[in-house]
Structure 1
């Protein structure tokens, strides 16, 4: 998973020649230099923190090479020791924890550098490091002796803690999914299937990346750019003066998505939209067609699941999900759809009327919705992301965020100076518990965009990197890095955030807290490790809910010149803004989630599945040339096959968790008591207990979609109490 985001941003540079000529199975050849004197771990300072200001690519590659070899040798020694072991925790799993410690730290440092300053860690170098470290670490989950040791330990008649049980279950499940209990001809066939999948997914990814860059459209009329935010104008500029143009439209997400919202010219919007939905289809460029790859991937995944003993790939995927079964996911999706679908009809009717009142005299189509949706939001609520930046200066937002966390979770976050970092803008913080004189965790914060030095993805403007996990046996504490692309401060103004960016900061920090405040003993199940995919984003989503609490948003906001908080009318409207066209937006998410599950559950041709599902989720008609699954990289070439629903599931769980805080405020409970319970469950337990059980410990019941529907202003009539 860790590599999935970076491939989409870099492959197309060098892949066009390889795409048609290079037939080797692996995506890359990993060339590791000889291990010389630089191979000693010289990447740490005396204080045990990374030596970021004295790091080099050569040092990173040499160190990861040495550590990977040591890791693989260490796994072999542990395998030998596991043959007659009497206590697998002492003789197998604790030694594995020690092996993990150094490799994970160096790997985390390389990832941090790659996302924080790609001039220090270019893509090609990071891919080498990532794949070498990943290959080494995967040896323990592909080890039959370690797998058998976990099975034997679980079958012993002894009482296990939740954490020990989860640790064993992880090794057993990973071994099962890697086919360690598959023998003979089936094992050979599984290896061929996995090799074929790697090749097909790489080809799919490469074609989509090229297709994203093939389409361009040029705008020369500056009148069309009047409503565009400055950040978008600069991103699209082709000439020396961004304000004079010309400007280039591409299908890159950070260009395409906002362009569709701000472009007033319907023909230009249609042109970009049809290029977007027809990518990699036979209608555009047969050399970049991915339909064959898509069907091959579906077929291979189906065979993989069958060999491993599952009816479908979707059923196999549920092994690592909180939901537990496709049926459970479908029940929730169907319930949400019943509430959202009727609301979508009403929303589109109101939007059509709004557009007609402003001279739009034709029926709204898919390429019109983002533009008029933005305009309507501004008219109804006086809300424009780019126009309220001045109320969210970054220093104030960060101070308020830290204060909120201190109150809720009884921690202190203190900046420490004199720490080596990868850039002068990076700050370092210690996290203190109320009962400890020494920090219990640390994190770096790198807030500002740096042209061409940071990865930019439109819908993912921030990154959390778990550099080091908590581990009792190695006496290590959690270390994280938070990396964003926020506006750079000027001489007379601090960095100013949009409300959406404030949400991203809160979300990433809430996610980070799960890593920083874990109390698990084994790094393999501490913090974010071993959390089921559909529960992974829960803690981040919980944190964003606080921005809809009037008292919190008033403390977070403050005009950069006057200090005045966000105007009362906008504060009151925030809930309405969140619910604006929520039926339409939720139906889109539900459709993509269902499409993913159907593609991985059924054998029907992909276009037949689309045609059957579309009218159930969309009020607007399906365009016969629309081929969106052919560029759906997230589920086809990345790791999210049968898992697209996970973010929506996390949102549902998070809304239900946050409703406990709201109930406390409205009743006679103390909100701080709820904060302590939340810290003691979700933040402390992490992956050392199943999230369904963690939720029950926090909420006293199983989760419900009611809170999510309430937040979105949708009726809950379809969901039984």
Structure 2
């Protein structure tokens, strides 16, 4: 690559201190790589990920990682400001990030999957040490000054280098490195308070063990299997805990409206001590954002996302909400009519939505998902997903025989380009449930792809799931929700494997959070089309018999039943999240009371509830960014409807998607990638149409 050749040329003309520093950095990296290679003798070609490290090896390696990182940061920081070049400032940091990531992940990923409690503990400790070191590096003013000096020279060899450098500068400045020392210290104090209050909010939710007592007649409609799983009081009443799995079961199945209301009210007023915590959190977030030059916290968050500003988010949410009003009103009126037939003149409340939606869906679609489950054996679904992705994106998956893994259930696959036969990367599948393993389905990046000095590092990923495997005569079967989740997460794997960005920072899944879910959500659509459903399904006793056409069509219609009402509930919480994080001194309880009937077509908030006291998404992880899930759904719907829907196995379109959207990763603005693929700017129209057209057919026929 031209830019890397120029970088090497720069190295030849360095003299004096700069030359010495460049040599020092190179020595540190070479020394580290030598130790890394000695650790990796058993590894795969192109992979620097270490498998099956012992607890002492993990802690020893993490110490070496931190020491090496510090040495390189020290060397970069020592470059005189008038001697900064790509070779002595950016290249060392770029190489450090590329080389360290697989070793960092080698220390961290065992906490998700290791069968050893000792190893999991060591892995968690390694992550704590690495996080502390990364946090310290992000606040190094000396390194920031040097990077900023290089950025000021504007000597860009290509646009990706410019983007990378400006991202480095931005990351430092979002940590206050452009502030005075006094303001920087204040920022750190504010963030420490925010962290502590956030943890307290979550602790309060986790520690809440409250429950309600009901007799059998008050729980009519709940499945017998669920009732048998409940604990009982001394007077033989059932204990319904105020945890989501119990509450959801009651709201979905209980025929007694008063029971649904009592449970919903109790669930909605949990942890009232969290209200003042959230109010204080919002104040501190606004204060920290103003220190950094932002008007409010929402602008601070959206500034590094596709949305770019809180005003754009509001415009987006209000447009989506308004576009759904007519359909949502018809959906709500239908539910009110059904309730009137079953319960008389009792008013319809927000707590009635889940029960009556489920009731109408059962009557409309005649879908028994326990029967559908019989058509999704794990191995068949996996091979079907492989087939779809290979054919669509021009890939070939090959199982690696006798690979070193951490459990006998784990499989390793190499990924090749179908045309060039080039090795693109590897992915591990750790699919089945076992004790001590992480309980969610997710993708863990192990090594990022990159291109440094004309040398391509390939990506390595891990897909973790909690599926049931075959046991004796009992086949491992997937619920449809598990099939959907698996397809989604494999979409992330494909994105990871196809990424060809030069910088590790723009590779894999380390992308704009508003963008990173879009490819995976595009792939979800293959779970709802007749042709692809037949490909991934087969009766477990005779896999040559896939789901019938009628069942496949019912699943597609079911997808969008009551879509407008369901989405409006999500919009409600997104608007609440945006308002509190973009406006000062908001009455949080009053805001919810105002928003609820406005968004939910006149349905009031349940009296006495305080949804903000149990809204963790607005506290940790998604604060001021709850909108992002809808945002990515909208763009994914546009991509699918515009390019794939009419021919879901069109490899030409799939290859365009791979080259124009997946391959660049974060090296370009997401809106630029999508516009290039679509031939225009993305629109919400396809998303709205996908809800209204299908939902009309599904719900009102």
Under TM normalisation by the shorter chain, which class is it?
A: 0.7 to 0.9
Listed one character per residue, the Cα deviations across residues 500-541 of structure 1 (whole Å, up to 9, x for unaligned) are 211101111112222121111111111222x21211211110
Q: Residue 482 of structure 1 corresponds to which residue in structure 2?
A: 463
Distance across 1 between alignment mates of 2:694 and 2:311: 23
Q: Residue 169 of structure 1 corresponds to which residue in structure 2?
A: 166
Q: Residue 600 of structure 2 corresponds to which residue in structure 1?
A: 618
Distance across 2 between alignment mates of 1:81 and 1:664: 57
Q: Residue 609 of structure 1 corresponds to which residue in structure 2?
A: 591
Is residue 365 of structure 1 aligned with residue 349 of structure 2?
yes
Kept in 2, the 8 Å contact 1:467–1:480? The answer is: yes
Is residue 554 of structure 1 aligned with residue 554 of structure 2?
no
Task: Provide closer, same or farther for how the CA distance between residues 324 and 40 of structure 1 changes in structure 2, counting only shifts above 3 A.
Answer: closer
Distance across 2 between alignment mates of 1:701 and 1:574: 31
Is residue 343 of structure 1 aligned with residue 331 of structure 2?
no
Q: Residue 5 of structure 2 corresponds to which residue in structure 1?
A: none
Task: Provide closer, same or farther for how the CA distance between residues 268 and 663 of structure 1 changes in structure 2, counting only shifts above 3 A.
Answer: closer
Q: Residue 61 of structure 2 corresponds to which residue in structure 1?
A: 63
Match of 2:577 among 588, 596, 617: 596
Count of residue pairs the alignment pairs up: 651
Give 1:257 shift.
3.3
Which has the higher mean CA deviation after the structures are superposed, 214-223 or 520-529?
214-223
Residues 267-416 of structure 1 correspond to what in structure 2 (within 5 A)?
A: 267-281=258-272, 289-358=273-342, 362-416=346-400
Distance across 2 between alignment mates of 1:466 and 1:422: 16
Task: Provide closer, same or farther for how the CA distance between residues 53 and 488 of structure 1 changes in structure 2, counting only shifts above 3 A.
Answer: same
Q: Residue 4 of structure 1 corresponds to which residue in structure 2?
A: none
Distance across 2 between alignment mates of 1:571 and 1:355: 29
Kept in 2, the 8 Å contact 1:83–1:145? The answer is: no
Distance across 2 between alignment mates of 1:57 and 1:384: 47
Distance across 2 between alignment mates of 1:381 and 1:623: 30
Match of 2:618 among 635, 639, 650: 635
Give 1:589 shift.
1.1
Q: Residue 18 of structure 2 corresponds to which residue in structure 1?
A: none
Task: Provide closer, same or farther for how the CA distance between residues 165 and 259 of structure 1 changes in structure 2, counting only shifts above 3 A.
Answer: farther
Give 4+ residue runs of structure 1 displaced > 6 Å after superposition: 39-43, 50-53
Task: Provide closer, same or farther for how the CA distance between residues 710 and 381 of structure 1 changes in structure 2, counting only shifts above 3 A.
Answer: same
Kept in 2, the 8 Å contact 1:41–1:63? The answer is: no
Give 1:399 shift.
0.9
Unaligned residue ranges in structure 2 (runs of 5+): 1-34, 696-701
Listed one character per residue, the Cα deviations across residues 102-160 of structure 1 (whole Å, up to 9, x for unaligned) are 54324423443322346546775544222211222334432334333443333335454
Kept in 1, the 8 Å contact 2:378–2:469? The answer is: no
Kept in 2, the 8 Å contact 1:527–1:685? The answer is: no
Distance across 1 between alignment mates of 2:469 and 2:335: 36
Give the secondary structure class of the aligned counterpart of 2:623: coil
Q: Residue 92 of structure 2 corresponds to which residue in structure 1?
A: 95
Kept in 2, the 8 Å contact 1:709–1:715? The answer is: no
Which has the higher mean CA deviation after the structures are superposed, 140-149 or 343-352?
140-149
Query: What's the RMSD between the two structures over aligned residues?
Result: 3.0
Kept in 1, the 8 Å contact 2:445–2:508? The answer is: no
Unaligned residue ranges in structure 1 (runs of 5+): 1-38, 240-244, 282-288, 717-721
Q: Residue 586 of structure 1 corresponds to which residue in structure 2?
A: 567
Give the secondary structure class of the aligned counterpart of 1:533: coil
Distance across 1 between alignment mates of 2:130 and 2:100: 7
Q: Residue 109 of structure 2 corresponds to which residue in structure 1?
A: 112
Is residue 521 of structure 1 aligned with residue 502 of structure 2?
yes
Listed one character per residue, the Cα deviations across residues 253-273 of structure 1 (whole Å, up to 9, x for unaligned) are 445434532344545434432
Task: Provide closer, same or farther for how the CA distance between residues 483 and 253 of structure 1 changes in structure 2, counting only shifts above 3 A.
Answer: farther
Distance across 2 between alignment mates of 1:85 and 1:143: 19
Give 1:660 shift.
2.8
Normalising by structure 2, we get a TM-score of 0.86
Match of 1:428 among 371, 389, 412: 412
Distance across 1 between alignment mates of 2:197 and 2:175: 19
Distance across 2 between alignment mates of 1:47 and 1:122: 20
Distance across 2 between alignment mates of 1:479 and 1:106: 12
Give the secondary structure class of the aligned counterpart of 2:430: strand
